[in-house]
Amino acid sequence: MDRRSFLTRCVAASAGWAALAGSAPDATEKKGPFADAPLRISAPPGWFPGDTIEEQLEHIAAWGFPAYEWLGPTGDLDALRATMDGLGIEISCICGVGAIAPGQMVAPTQHDRLIKGFWQTVKTAQTLGCKNIVGLTGNERTDVSREEQTEYVVRCLRRLAPIAEGEGVTIVVEPLNVLIDHPGFFLTRTDQMIAILEAVDSPNVKMLFDIYHQQITEGNVIRNITNNIERIGHFHIGDNPGRCQPGSGELNYKNIFKAIHEAGYRGYLALECGISQGTTLEQALKYLRNECLAWS
């Protein structure tokens, strides 16, 4: 399931919002169910009603979320930033450099193109006040060894790192699972990611730890997170199977969130998932706040 399609299921799940909207917190207030959450959860606009991103952001702010995640922001970015500032919310991460596609970082002939495009992405990030930019290595090649491809990725990131450092952004490189969602992608495991980050050796190049992807690829989620927390710059949240909200699958998000907090992480954790069939938006949000984040 790709990034765009997995959120479409939440439209039907949130059909009961009309009955909820009257009781939702006022978007002009500084409080809401997530305002005092122990972790900084970033919400997906697609979960919320509204014909425009501005309307969706009003609901996100009303629930007390400190941020939202829109990986490919479009439209009038200055106006969007003004809306964000007025509501007191941030955008937690955008794409990016590289893609889920052939070539990319694993192909040195494409590095100049990636660096040129990264400069434009940096401008977008700065307009929106966004600090995190997703990095994707591209698909595995069959014509050279994995060792060579790893070296090409390191070489690309070493060229990108000084730009990120100078412009005040962080590249968060994301491993993906190849068993269900992204067959053929090059970077999959936490140990591969950490080896690359150690070779690049930049405070502005870190890991995007997608809990859904890493559960499928390797499990051992809490240990891999806590052992490498200093190298993690961003999280994506989704349960497995189904890539839906916490509580819909096999992952114990209460324990995972507690471990992340106790490890000292204070960045954003973005809900990059849908809402399972038969679950309303209100139910999903209440479970997330009252169960998964209730240990503090």
* Segment 203-219, tens digit of pLDDT: 999 999 999 999 999 99
- Per residue in 270-282, pLDDT (tens digit) is 999 999 999 999 9
pLDDT score of 295: 78
Q: Return all residues near 295 (Cβ < 8 A) that are at least 6 apart.
A: 38, 254, 257, 258
What are the backbone dihedrals phi and psi of residue 93, each rounded to the nearest 5 degrees, phi first? -170, 150
From 185, 116, 193, 105, select the one nearest 149 (Cα to Cα): 105
pLDDT score of 10: 39
Q: Average pLDDT, stretch 35-61?
A: 97
In DSSP terms, 97 is beta-bridged to 135
Angle made by CA atoms 242, 243, 248, in degrees to the nearest 5: 70
CA distance 64 to 245: 18
Report the run of H or E that residue 225 belongs to, with start and end.
helix 221-227
Say if CB 67 and CB 42 are below 8 A apart.
yes
Answer whether residue 159 shows pLDDT above 90.
Answer: yes
The CATH fold assigned to 5-16+31-70+77-292 is: TIM Barrel (3.20.20)
Q: Return all residues near 189 (Cβ < 8 A) that are at least 6 apart.
A: 175, 217, 218
Complete DSSP assignment for 3-63: TTGGGTHHHHHTTTHHHHHTTSPPTTSS--TTTT-SSEEEE-GGGS--SSHHHHHHHHHHT
Q: Which of the four pLDDT bands, split at 50, 70 and 90, describes residue 12?
A: very low
Widest Cα–Cα separation across the chain: 59
Output helix, strand, coil percentages for the chain, rounded to the nearest 5: 45, 15, 40
Q: Return all residues near 54 (Cβ < 8 A) that are at least 6 apart.
A: 80, 83
Sheet holding 40-43, edge to edge: 90-91, 67-68, 40-43, 268-271, 232-237, 205-210, 170-173, 132-135, 94-97
What are the backbone dihedrals phi and psi of residue 207, each rounded to the nearest 5 degrees, phi first? -95, 140
Instruction: Report the length, in residues, of the chain.
Output: 296
Burial 245-279, CB ≥16 within 10 A → b, else e: bbbbbebebeebbbbbbeeebebbbbbbbbbbeeb
- Per residue in 76-121, pLDDT (tens digit) is 999 999 999 999 999 999 999 999 999 999 999 999 999 999 999 9
Measuring CA to CA, how many Å separate 231 from each of 150, 172, 183, 259?
18, 10, 25, 15
Say if CB 109 and CB 152 are below 8 A apart.
no
pLDDT score of 30: 61
Angle made by CA atoms 142, 145, 147, in degrees to the nearest 5: 140
